[in-house]
Structure 1
Amino acid sequence: MVLPISGTTDGRLRCVLPFKAAPVEVGLLRNAAASQLTRWGMSAAVDEAEVIVTELATNVVKHVGDGAAALVLEWRRDRLRLEVHDRSPVLPSVRKAECYDECGRGLHLVASLTADWGVMLTAVGKAVWCEVPLSLGVAGCRVERAVGVLEAYQSTGGALERQGRSWGTSLEESAVELIAGLLHWTAARGHDPDDFLDRAQTCYEAEADAA
Protein backbone atom coordinates (compact mmCIF):
# COMPACT_ATOMS: atom_id res chain seq x y z
CA MET A 1 0.00 0.00 0.00
CA VAL A 2 1.10 3.57 -0.71
CA LEU A 3 -0.32 6.85 0.53
CA PRO A 4 -3.78 7.79 -0.80
CA ILE A 5 -4.11 10.48 -3.43
CA SER A 6 -7.09 12.64 -2.45
CA GLY A 7 -8.79 15.71 -3.81
CA THR A 8 -11.94 17.03 -5.41
CA THR A 9 -13.25 16.75 -8.95
CA ASP A 10 -16.22 18.90 -9.99
CA GLY A 11 -17.32 19.16 -6.37
CA ARG A 12 -16.84 15.43 -5.73
CA LEU A 13 -14.56 14.00 -3.09
CA ARG A 14 -12.16 11.54 -4.68
CA CYS A 15 -9.42 9.29 -3.31
CA VAL A 16 -7.13 6.86 -5.17
CA LEU A 17 -5.58 4.01 -3.17
CA PRO A 18 -2.93 2.12 -5.18
CA PHE A 19 -2.23 -1.45 -4.06
CA LYS A 20 -0.47 -4.61 -5.18
CA ALA A 21 -2.67 -7.58 -6.11
CA ALA A 22 -1.44 -9.80 -3.28
CA PRO A 23 -3.42 -11.47 -0.44
CA VAL A 24 -1.66 -9.48 2.29
CA GLU A 25 -2.78 -6.23 0.65
CA VAL A 26 -6.54 -6.93 0.86
CA GLY A 27 -6.86 -6.24 4.59
CA LEU A 28 -4.63 -3.16 4.35
CA LEU A 29 -6.75 -1.82 1.49
CA ARG A 30 -9.98 -2.44 3.40
CA ASN A 31 -8.64 -0.56 6.43
CA ALA A 32 -7.37 2.31 4.29
CA ALA A 33 -10.76 2.66 2.61
CA ALA A 34 -12.55 2.65 5.98
CA SER A 35 -10.18 5.32 7.32
CA GLN A 36 -10.71 7.52 4.27
CA LEU A 37 -14.51 7.30 4.49
CA THR A 38 -14.34 8.13 8.20
CA ARG A 39 -12.21 11.20 7.41
CA TRP A 40 -14.91 12.26 4.96
CA GLY A 41 -17.55 11.89 7.67
CA MET A 42 -19.13 8.85 6.00
CA SER A 43 -18.92 6.36 8.87
CA ALA A 44 -22.38 4.99 8.04
CA ALA A 45 -21.07 3.67 4.71
CA VAL A 46 -17.97 1.96 6.13
CA ASP A 47 -19.43 -1.52 6.76
CA GLU A 48 -20.81 -1.99 3.24
CA ALA A 49 -17.72 -0.45 1.69
CA GLU A 50 -15.43 -2.82 3.59
CA VAL A 51 -17.30 -5.86 2.24
CA ILE A 52 -17.29 -4.51 -1.31
CA VAL A 53 -13.60 -3.58 -1.23
CA THR A 54 -12.72 -7.01 0.15
CA GLU A 55 -14.63 -8.86 -2.58
CA LEU A 56 -13.40 -6.71 -5.47
CA ALA A 57 -9.78 -6.75 -4.31
CA THR A 58 -9.91 -10.51 -3.67
CA ASN A 59 -11.15 -11.08 -7.23
CA VAL A 60 -8.19 -9.12 -8.57
CA VAL A 61 -5.79 -11.16 -6.43
CA LYS A 62 -7.31 -14.46 -7.61
CA HIS A 63 -7.66 -13.72 -11.30
CA VAL A 64 -4.98 -11.13 -12.06
CA GLY A 65 -2.47 -11.51 -9.26
CA ASP A 66 0.85 -9.92 -8.39
CA GLY A 67 0.37 -6.72 -10.34
CA ALA A 68 -0.35 -3.06 -9.82
CA ALA A 69 -3.97 -2.17 -9.07
CA ALA A 70 -5.89 0.72 -7.55
CA LEU A 71 -9.07 1.41 -5.61
CA VAL A 72 -10.89 4.65 -6.38
CA LEU A 73 -13.39 6.07 -3.87
CA GLU A 74 -15.64 8.86 -5.06
CA TRP A 75 -18.35 10.61 -3.09
CA ARG A 76 -20.98 11.77 -5.58
CA ARG A 77 -23.36 13.59 -3.22
CA ASP A 78 -26.03 10.89 -2.71
CA ARG A 79 -23.87 7.96 -3.85
CA LEU A 80 -20.53 6.42 -3.03
CA ARG A 81 -18.77 5.04 -6.11
CA LEU A 82 -16.04 2.43 -5.77
CA GLU A 83 -13.81 1.34 -8.66
CA VAL A 84 -11.09 -1.31 -8.63
CA HIS A 85 -8.66 -0.96 -11.54
CA ASP A 86 -6.26 -3.69 -12.71
CA ARG A 87 -4.09 -4.34 -15.76
CA SER A 88 -6.00 -7.31 -17.18
CA PRO A 89 -8.37 -6.74 -20.14
CA VAL A 90 -10.32 -9.95 -19.32
CA LEU A 91 -13.84 -9.02 -18.19
CA PRO A 92 -15.43 -10.97 -15.30
CA SER A 93 -18.90 -12.47 -15.66
CA VAL A 94 -21.50 -13.71 -13.19
CA ARG A 95 -24.04 -14.84 -15.78
CA LYS A 96 -22.87 -18.42 -16.15
CA ALA A 97 -23.79 -20.74 -13.29
CA GLU A 98 -20.67 -22.81 -13.75
CA CYS A 99 -18.52 -19.73 -13.14
CA TYR A 100 -20.21 -18.82 -9.86
CA ASP A 101 -17.98 -20.71 -7.44
CA GLU A 102 -14.80 -19.93 -9.31
CA CYS A 103 -15.11 -16.24 -10.12
CA GLY A 104 -18.59 -14.94 -9.53
CA ARG A 105 -19.32 -15.20 -5.82
CA GLY A 106 -17.75 -11.84 -5.01
CA LEU A 107 -19.58 -10.09 -7.83
CA HIS A 108 -22.91 -11.61 -6.82
CA LEU A 109 -22.35 -10.23 -3.33
CA VAL A 110 -21.34 -6.85 -4.69
CA ALA A 111 -24.48 -6.74 -6.85
CA SER A 112 -26.65 -7.49 -3.81
CA LEU A 113 -25.13 -4.61 -1.80
CA THR A 114 -25.13 -1.89 -4.46
CA ALA A 115 -27.59 0.12 -6.54
CA ASP A 116 -25.64 -0.56 -9.73
CA TRP A 117 -22.37 -2.08 -10.87
CA GLY A 118 -20.49 -2.84 -14.06
CA VAL A 119 -17.16 -3.38 -15.78
CA MET A 120 -15.37 -1.05 -18.17
CA LEU A 121 -12.22 -1.34 -20.24
CA THR A 122 -9.52 1.24 -19.55
CA ALA A 123 -6.38 2.30 -21.40
CA VAL A 124 -4.30 -0.21 -19.41
CA GLY A 125 -6.80 -2.91 -18.48
CA LYS A 126 -10.23 -2.76 -16.85
CA ALA A 127 -12.15 -1.41 -13.88
CA VAL A 128 -14.99 -2.99 -11.93
CA TRP A 129 -17.21 -0.28 -10.48
CA CYS A 130 -20.25 -0.08 -8.23
CA GLU A 131 -22.35 2.59 -6.55
CA VAL A 132 -23.83 2.55 -3.05
CA PRO A 133 -26.75 4.91 -2.36
CA LEU A 134 -26.27 7.24 0.60
CA SER A 135 -28.73 8.92 2.87
CA LEU A 136 -26.83 12.08 3.66
CA GLY A 137 -29.12 13.63 6.26
CA VAL A 138 -28.24 16.92 7.93
CA ALA A 139 -24.74 15.86 9.00
CA GLY A 140 -23.78 14.59 5.54
CA CYS A 141 -25.01 17.77 3.86
CA ARG A 142 -23.05 19.86 6.35
CA VAL A 143 -19.87 17.85 5.71
CA GLU A 144 -20.28 18.23 1.96
CA ARG A 145 -20.83 21.99 2.29
CA ALA A 146 -17.91 22.34 4.72
CA VAL A 147 -15.53 20.63 2.29
CA GLY A 148 -16.57 23.07 -0.42
CA VAL A 149 -15.99 26.05 1.89
CA LEU A 150 -12.59 24.73 3.00
CA GLU A 151 -11.50 24.09 -0.59
CA ALA A 152 -12.44 27.67 -1.49
CA TYR A 153 -10.69 29.02 1.62
CA GLN A 154 -7.60 26.96 0.83
CA SER A 155 -7.37 28.44 -2.64
CA THR A 156 -7.13 32.01 -1.26
CA GLY A 157 -3.69 31.49 0.27
CA GLY A 158 -1.22 29.24 2.01
CA ALA A 159 -0.64 27.02 -1.03
CA LEU A 160 3.15 27.23 -0.80
CA GLU A 161 3.16 26.35 2.89
CA ARG A 162 1.05 23.25 2.20
CA GLN A 163 3.12 21.84 -0.65
CA GLY A 164 4.10 18.24 -0.02
CA ARG A 165 1.34 17.64 2.51
CA SER A 166 -1.54 15.27 1.96
CA TRP A 167 -4.92 16.65 0.91
CA GLY A 168 -6.47 15.50 4.18
CA THR A 169 -3.81 17.12 6.37
CA SER A 170 -3.95 20.31 4.37
CA LEU A 171 -7.73 20.45 4.69
CA GLU A 172 -7.52 19.94 8.46
CA GLU A 173 -5.08 22.82 8.77
CA SER A 174 -7.38 25.00 6.68
CA ALA A 175 -10.27 24.12 9.01
CA VAL A 176 -8.28 25.31 12.05
CA GLU A 177 -7.27 28.52 10.25
CA LEU A 178 -10.85 29.17 9.14
CA ILE A 179 -12.25 28.66 12.66
CA ALA A 180 -9.59 31.00 14.04
CA GLY A 181 -10.51 33.57 11.41
CA LEU A 182 -14.18 33.34 12.31
CA LEU A 183 -13.35 33.88 15.97
CA HIS A 184 -11.40 37.03 15.04
CA TRP A 185 -14.44 38.14 13.02
CA THR A 186 -16.80 37.67 15.96
CA ALA A 187 -14.44 39.58 18.28
CA ALA A 188 -14.12 42.42 15.74
CA ARG A 189 -17.91 42.74 15.77
CA GLY A 190 -17.93 43.07 19.55
CA HIS A 191 -19.09 39.52 20.33
CA ASP A 192 -17.61 36.95 22.69
CA PRO A 193 -15.78 34.22 20.65
CA ASP A 194 -16.37 31.68 23.43
CA ASP A 195 -20.12 32.30 23.17
CA PHE A 196 -20.01 31.50 19.45
CA LEU A 197 -18.02 28.32 20.12
CA ASP A 198 -20.57 27.24 22.73
CA ARG A 199 -23.45 27.89 20.34
CA ALA A 200 -21.75 25.97 17.55
CA GLN A 201 -21.04 23.05 19.90
CA THR A 202 -24.67 22.99 21.05
CA CYS A 203 -25.86 22.96 17.43
CA TYR A 204 -23.44 20.16 16.53
CA GLU A 205 -24.45 18.00 19.50
CA ALA A 206 -28.16 18.44 18.78
CA GLU A 207 -27.72 17.37 15.15
CA ALA A 208 -25.43 14.47 16.11
CA ASP A 209 -28.00 13.18 18.63
CA ALA A 210 -30.74 13.41 16.03
CA ALA A 211 -28.75 11.48 13.41
Structure 2
Amino acid sequence: MKTKFAVFLLLQLILISCSSTISTVKKEYILNNSKELKSDWAINSKEWILKNDTLTGNGSLSPWGVLVSKKQLPENYEIDFKVNMTNASLFEIMLNLDKGKYIRTYLYQIDQNIVIGDGVYDKKDDSYGKRGGKTLFRKPMKLENNKWYSVKIKVKNNQLSFSVDDKTTLECSLEKSNLNQKGKLGFITNGEVKITYLKIKSF
Protein backbone atom coordinates (compact mmCIF):
# COMPACT_ATOMS: atom_id res chain seq x y z
CA MET A 1 0.00 0.00 0.00
CA LYS A 2 2.83 2.39 0.92
CA THR A 3 4.59 1.59 -2.36
CA LYS A 4 1.44 2.40 -4.38
CA PHE A 5 1.03 5.69 -2.54
CA ALA A 6 4.68 6.63 -3.14
CA VAL A 7 4.34 5.85 -6.86
CA PHE A 8 1.15 7.95 -7.01
CA LEU A 9 2.93 10.92 -5.42
CA LEU A 10 5.88 10.56 -7.78
CA LEU A 11 3.58 10.52 -10.81
CA GLN A 12 1.84 13.69 -9.56
CA LEU A 13 5.19 15.47 -9.21
CA ILE A 14 6.24 14.40 -12.70
CA LEU A 15 2.95 15.59 -14.19
CA ILE A 16 3.28 18.97 -12.49
CA SER A 17 6.88 19.49 -13.54
CA CYS A 18 6.14 18.48 -17.14
CA SER A 19 2.96 20.50 -17.39
CA SER A 20 2.60 22.63 -20.50
CA THR A 21 0.94 25.39 -18.48
CA ILE A 22 2.61 28.02 -16.35
CA SER A 23 0.38 26.95 -13.46
CA THR A 24 -1.57 23.81 -12.59
CA VAL A 25 -4.62 23.06 -10.47
CA LYS A 26 -2.30 21.68 -7.79
CA LYS A 27 0.35 24.37 -7.94
CA GLU A 28 0.50 28.12 -7.72
CA TYR A 29 3.33 29.54 -9.79
CA ILE A 30 5.54 32.05 -7.99
CA LEU A 31 8.55 33.53 -9.76
CA ASN A 32 11.30 34.00 -7.18
CA ASN A 33 14.63 32.81 -8.58
CA SER A 34 16.72 33.26 -11.69
CA LYS A 35 16.68 29.52 -12.47
CA GLU A 36 12.90 29.67 -12.95
CA LEU A 37 13.25 32.78 -15.08
CA LYS A 38 15.67 31.04 -17.45
CA SER A 39 13.70 27.78 -17.64
CA ASP A 40 10.15 29.15 -17.82
CA TRP A 41 10.57 32.35 -19.83
CA ALA A 42 12.05 33.34 -23.20
CA ILE A 43 14.40 36.01 -21.92
CA ASN A 44 16.81 38.58 -23.30
CA SER A 45 19.12 39.31 -20.35
CA LYS A 46 19.74 42.84 -21.69
CA GLU A 47 16.02 43.58 -21.33
CA TRP A 48 14.91 41.62 -18.23
CA ILE A 49 16.70 40.41 -15.08
CA LEU A 50 15.58 38.86 -11.80
CA LYS A 51 17.46 39.88 -8.66
CA ASN A 52 16.41 39.73 -4.99
CA ASP A 53 12.86 38.65 -5.93
CA THR A 54 12.44 41.71 -8.17
CA LEU A 55 12.00 41.39 -11.93
CA THR A 56 13.39 44.45 -13.72
CA GLY A 57 12.64 45.25 -17.35
CA ASN A 58 14.39 47.80 -19.54
CA GLY A 59 13.05 48.93 -22.87
CA SER A 60 12.81 51.97 -25.11
CA LEU A 61 10.45 53.31 -27.74
CA SER A 62 12.22 50.91 -30.10
CA PRO A 63 12.79 48.22 -29.12
CA TRP A 64 10.40 47.59 -26.26
CA GLY A 65 11.65 45.36 -23.45
CA VAL A 66 9.71 42.11 -23.90
CA LEU A 67 9.51 38.98 -21.71
CA VAL A 68 7.34 35.99 -22.74
CA SER A 69 6.60 32.76 -20.87
CA LYS A 70 7.43 29.46 -22.53
CA LYS A 71 4.30 27.79 -21.14
CA GLN A 72 0.61 28.36 -21.74
CA LEU A 73 -1.65 30.08 -19.25
CA PRO A 74 -4.41 27.86 -17.82
CA GLU A 75 -7.95 28.24 -19.17
CA ASN A 76 -9.05 29.99 -15.97
CA TYR A 77 -6.40 31.92 -14.06
CA GLU A 78 -5.57 34.76 -11.72
CA ILE A 79 -2.38 36.84 -11.89
CA ASP A 80 -1.25 39.02 -8.98
CA PHE A 81 1.81 41.24 -8.69
CA LYS A 82 3.11 44.67 -7.73
CA VAL A 83 4.61 46.96 -10.37
CA ASN A 84 6.61 50.19 -10.31
CA MET A 85 7.14 52.14 -13.54
CA THR A 86 10.38 53.65 -12.27
CA ASN A 87 11.22 55.23 -15.63
CA ALA A 88 8.57 54.23 -18.15
CA SER A 89 5.30 55.59 -19.53
CA LEU A 90 3.94 52.22 -20.68
CA PHE A 91 3.78 48.89 -18.88
CA GLU A 92 1.85 46.13 -20.60
CA ILE A 93 0.75 42.65 -19.55
CA MET A 94 0.35 40.41 -22.60
CA LEU A 95 -2.42 37.86 -22.05
CA ASN A 96 -3.15 34.73 -24.09
CA LEU A 97 -0.38 35.38 -26.62
CA ASP A 98 -0.96 32.95 -29.49
CA LYS A 99 -0.04 33.08 -33.18
CA GLY A 100 1.04 36.70 -32.99
CA LYS A 101 -2.12 37.97 -31.27
CA TYR A 102 -2.70 38.78 -27.62
CA ILE A 103 -4.88 40.70 -25.17
CA ARG A 104 -3.36 44.05 -24.18
CA THR A 105 -3.83 44.94 -20.51
CA TYR A 106 -1.74 47.93 -19.63
CA LEU A 107 -0.99 51.01 -17.57
CA TYR A 108 -0.46 54.06 -19.78
CA GLN A 109 1.01 57.05 -17.98
CA ILE A 110 0.84 59.51 -20.89
CA ASP A 111 -2.96 59.24 -21.18
CA GLN A 112 -3.43 58.45 -17.46
CA ASN A 113 -5.52 55.35 -18.22
CA ILE A 114 -5.58 51.64 -17.66
CA VAL A 115 -6.48 49.88 -20.89
CA ILE A 116 -7.70 46.62 -22.43
CA GLY A 117 -6.88 46.26 -26.09
CA ASP A 118 -6.40 43.89 -29.00
CA GLY A 119 -2.71 43.42 -29.70
CA VAL A 120 -0.30 41.97 -32.24
CA TYR A 121 3.26 40.87 -31.56
CA ASP A 122 6.00 40.00 -34.02
CA LYS A 123 9.11 39.07 -32.04
CA LYS A 124 11.30 39.67 -35.10
CA ASP A 125 9.97 43.12 -35.95
CA ASP A 126 9.86 46.28 -33.78
CA SER A 127 8.35 48.48 -36.46
CA TYR A 128 5.06 50.34 -36.13
CA GLY A 129 2.06 48.06 -36.59
CA LYS A 130 4.00 44.92 -35.66
CA ARG A 131 3.66 45.40 -31.90
CA GLY A 132 0.83 46.85 -29.82
CA GLY A 133 -2.64 47.46 -31.19
CA LYS A 134 -6.01 49.11 -30.79
CA THR A 135 -7.71 50.13 -27.55
CA LEU A 136 -11.03 48.48 -26.72
CA PHE A 137 -11.73 49.68 -23.17
CA ARG A 138 -10.11 52.32 -20.98
CA LYS A 139 -10.62 53.91 -17.59
CA PRO A 140 -8.92 57.01 -16.16
CA MET A 141 -6.42 56.47 -13.36
CA LYS A 142 -3.67 58.68 -11.98
CA LEU A 143 -0.36 56.94 -12.74
CA GLU A 144 3.07 58.06 -11.58
CA ASN A 145 6.69 57.00 -11.81
CA ASN A 146 8.35 55.55 -8.71
CA LYS A 147 5.08 54.39 -7.21
CA TRP A 148 4.06 50.80 -6.53
CA TYR A 149 0.72 49.56 -7.90
CA SER A 150 -1.05 46.29 -7.11
CA VAL A 151 -2.29 44.57 -10.26
CA LYS A 152 -4.80 41.73 -10.37
CA ILE A 153 -5.96 40.02 -13.55
CA LYS A 154 -8.60 37.33 -13.55
CA VAL A 155 -9.90 35.27 -16.45
CA LYS A 156 -12.78 32.94 -15.67
CA ASN A 157 -15.28 31.46 -18.11
CA ASN A 158 -13.96 33.82 -20.81
CA GLN A 159 -14.63 36.90 -18.66
CA LEU A 160 -11.62 39.18 -18.10
CA SER A 161 -11.23 41.45 -15.08
CA PHE A 162 -8.24 43.82 -14.90
CA SER A 163 -7.86 45.72 -11.62
CA VAL A 164 -5.27 48.16 -10.25
CA ASP A 165 -5.06 48.87 -6.50
CA ASP A 166 -8.49 47.25 -6.05
CA LYS A 167 -10.15 50.53 -7.04
CA THR A 168 -9.92 50.90 -10.81
CA THR A 169 -11.29 47.95 -12.77
CA LEU A 170 -11.96 47.11 -16.41
CA GLU A 171 -13.99 44.07 -17.46
CA CYS A 172 -14.92 42.48 -20.76
CA SER A 173 -16.03 39.25 -22.43
CA LEU A 174 -13.23 37.62 -24.44
CA GLU A 175 -15.74 36.01 -26.78
CA LYS A 176 -17.79 39.15 -27.44
CA SER A 177 -14.64 41.23 -27.97
CA ASN A 178 -13.16 38.56 -30.26
CA LEU A 179 -10.05 38.21 -28.08
CA ASN A 180 -7.74 35.20 -27.67
CA GLN A 181 -9.05 32.60 -25.24
CA LYS A 182 -5.74 30.78 -24.82
CA GLY A 183 -2.03 31.46 -25.04
CA LYS A 184 1.03 32.60 -23.12
CA LEU A 185 1.85 35.43 -20.73
CA GLY A 186 4.23 38.27 -21.41
CA PHE A 187 5.36 41.71 -20.23
CA ILE A 188 6.30 44.80 -22.23
CA THR A 189 7.86 48.10 -21.17
CA ASN A 190 9.14 51.19 -23.00
CA GLY A 191 11.44 52.14 -20.11
CA GLU A 192 12.47 50.74 -16.74
CA VAL A 193 9.86 48.84 -14.74
CA LYS A 194 10.05 46.66 -11.63
CA ILE A 195 7.78 43.71 -10.74
CA THR A 196 7.59 41.87 -7.42
CA TYR A 197 5.39 39.17 -5.83
CA LEU A 198 4.37 37.68 -9.19
CA LYS A 199 1.88 34.85 -8.61
CA ILE A 200 -0.14 32.91 -11.16
CA LYS A 201 -2.76 30.38 -10.11
CA SER A 202 -5.38 28.35 -11.88
CA PHE A 203 -8.86 27.50 -10.64
Q: Report the TM-score, using the length of structure 1 for normalisation.
A: 0.31
Q: Which has the higher strand share?
A: 2
Q: Which has the larger radius of gyration?
A: 1
Q: Which has the higher helix share?
A: 1
Higher relative contact order (CA 8 A, sep 6+): 2
Q: Report the TM-score, using the length of structure 2 for normalisation.
A: 0.32
